[in-house]
């Protein structure tokens, strides 16, 4: 029996909710298994990903109309109600179809016992438009709580994004950033230097990236249908490209340089560094603490150079193993992922403010280990896909106090080379912002060992 687009979306939500699955990695497998055509596949993706994005807003609405608080509704049933709410309020689906199809989904997956409850809740949701519901559910809320509900972000994330924007004099762009996080990102690709050129794809309905000289976006079609996809062409956000380019091009590469990607999994930035190092005559070591992620790194690097050494070591201990060894090091530290919410919508529900203490401790340990492995005079780029100040400038301030490192002026370099003067003067580290740069909100700090 064929699987419907709504069933695919429902299965995805349940795996994300109950198994901590990553939506962007799981969806292709579910679509292949379903056998849906292109149109129905697009419907399933829009339904699933947008429901995840707007989850909190829908929960506030459901909480208003349900006889049970949402936190007391079975998670699987709640996912079905969220899918129904999204179709009723935020898609061009006729109300009768949204109601009947969602109720049938509930009947098929959860049984007859909860059909009446589901039907009653969704009929009440359908009585108002999305704008009417939003006006109702923010009554009596303060500014941050209102934005949290209207744009479906946890309060602690809204506060963190606000502080980051204020640091760069962009405090009045908070709503624009939240809106950007709820707008699906284009499929962004990189043409690996020495293996492909983005100019080769001008006839494939692409748009050249504004910031990265090796990046382009696919406006229609599937990226895996492009010639050279998986070898010379990879999916990669423009911000990630800029990070690798910054480390490789900040100054001329010397003869026989040795490079390290300390936290290389799953291998996206490592692949670009591999291409750049091969072009410049440098050697690269890629390290990843988890064996299964190291396998992904090997897969990513093998089409570029199968001689690259992939190590499986705890990055926090790497500096002791190889002190003063490398000329250039990338420390792309694990983080909250708040800079990539438009690509990974479930990340906003997966992390909490309580996670910061553990994450920031790990981030500093990795940075300190990388610094120990850095040659005197070498370059170390600390990167997080997060604008949270605790994961960005606070880590660098701590490194300056405790490690004696020097922070180089990456802002001036990036403004001159890639950002066209968009970065604010007066700071040496770089914070990209999605609403301004159309990239993930990557943070970068370039340090050296005197």
Q: What residues are labeled active site?
A: 385
Burial 434-445 (b: 16+ CB within 10 A, else e): bbbbbbbbbbbb
Are 43 and 27 a contacting pair, CB within 8 Å? no
User: Rounded to an integer, what distance in angstroms lies between the CA atom of residue 340 and that of residue 47?
Assistant: 19
Q: In the numeric block, which tokens belong to residue 52?
A: 């995840």
Beta-carbon contacts of 66 under 8 Å, excluding residues fewer than 6 positions away, are: 73, 121
User: Rounded to an integer, what distance in angstroms lies between the CA atom of residue 214 and that of residue 241?
Assistant: 8
Which phi and psi angles does 246 have, rounded to 5°?
A: -60, -45
- Token look-up 């359908």 returns 126
Which residues on adjacent β-strands are paired with residue 97? none
DSSP helix/strand/coil, 161:
helix
- Token look-up 């950033």 returns 177
DSSP helix/strand/coil, 41:
helix
Are 413 and 243 a contacting pair, CB within 8 Å? no
DSSP classification of residue 211: S
Are 370 and 380 a contacting pair, CB within 8 Å? yes
DSSP helix/strand/coil, 264:
coil
């Amino acid at each position: 029996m064929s699987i419907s687009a709504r069933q695919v979306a429902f299965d995805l939500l349940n795996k994300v909710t109950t198994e901590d699955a990553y939506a962007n990695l799981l969806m292709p497998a579910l679509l292949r298994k379903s056998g849906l055509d292109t149109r129905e596949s697009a419907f399933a993706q829009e339904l699933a990903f947008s429901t995840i994005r707007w989850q909190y807003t829908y929960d506030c609405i459901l909480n208003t109309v349900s006889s049970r608080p949402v936190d007391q509704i079975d998670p699987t049933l709640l996912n079905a109600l969220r899918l129904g709410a999204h179709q009723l309020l935020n898609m061009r689906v006729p109300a009768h179809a949204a109601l009947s199809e969602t109720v049938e989904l509930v009947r098929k997956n959860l049984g007859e016992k909860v059909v009446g409850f589901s039907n009653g809740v969704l009929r009440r949701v359908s009585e108002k438009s999305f704008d009417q519901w939003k006006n109702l559910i923010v009554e009596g809320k303060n500014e941050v709580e209102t934005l949290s509900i209207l744009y479906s972000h946890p309060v602690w994330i809204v506060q963190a994004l606000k502080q980051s924007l204020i640091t760069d004099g962009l405090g009045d762009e908070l709503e624009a950033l939240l809106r950007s996080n709820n707008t699906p990102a284009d499929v962004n690709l990189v043409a690996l230097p020495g293996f492909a050129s983005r100019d080769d794809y001008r006839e494939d309905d692409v748009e050249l990236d504004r910031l990265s000289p090796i990046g382009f976006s696919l406006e229609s079609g599937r990226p895996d249908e492009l010639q050279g996809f998986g070898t010379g062409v990879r999916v990669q956000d423009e911000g990630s490209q800029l990070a690798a380019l910054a480390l490789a091009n900040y100054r001329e590469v010397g003869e026989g340089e040795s490079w390290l990607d300390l936290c290389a999994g799953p291998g996206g930035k490592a692949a670009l560094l591999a291409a750049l190092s091969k072009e410049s005559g440098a050697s690269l070591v890629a390290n990843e603490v988890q064996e299964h992620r190291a396998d992904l790194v090997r897969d990513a690097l093998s089409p570029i150079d199968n001689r690259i050494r992939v190590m499986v070591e705890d990055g926090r201990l790497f500096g002791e193993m190889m002190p003063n060894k490398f000329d250039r090091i990338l420390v792309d530290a694990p983080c909250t992922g708040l800079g990539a919410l438009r690509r990974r919508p479930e990340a906003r529900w997966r992390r909490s403010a309580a996670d910061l203490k553990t994450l920031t401790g790990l981030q500093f340990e990795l940075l300190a280990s990388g610094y120990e492995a850095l040659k005197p005079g070498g370059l170390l780029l600390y990167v997080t896909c997060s604008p949270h100040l605790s994961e960005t400038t606070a880590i660098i301030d701590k490194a300056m106090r405790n490690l004696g490192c020097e922070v180089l002026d990456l802002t001036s370099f990036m403004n001159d080379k890639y950002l066209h003067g968009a970065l604010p003067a007066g700071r040496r580290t770089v914070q990209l912002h999605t609403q301004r740069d159309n990239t993930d909100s990557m943070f970068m700090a370039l340090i050296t060992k005197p």
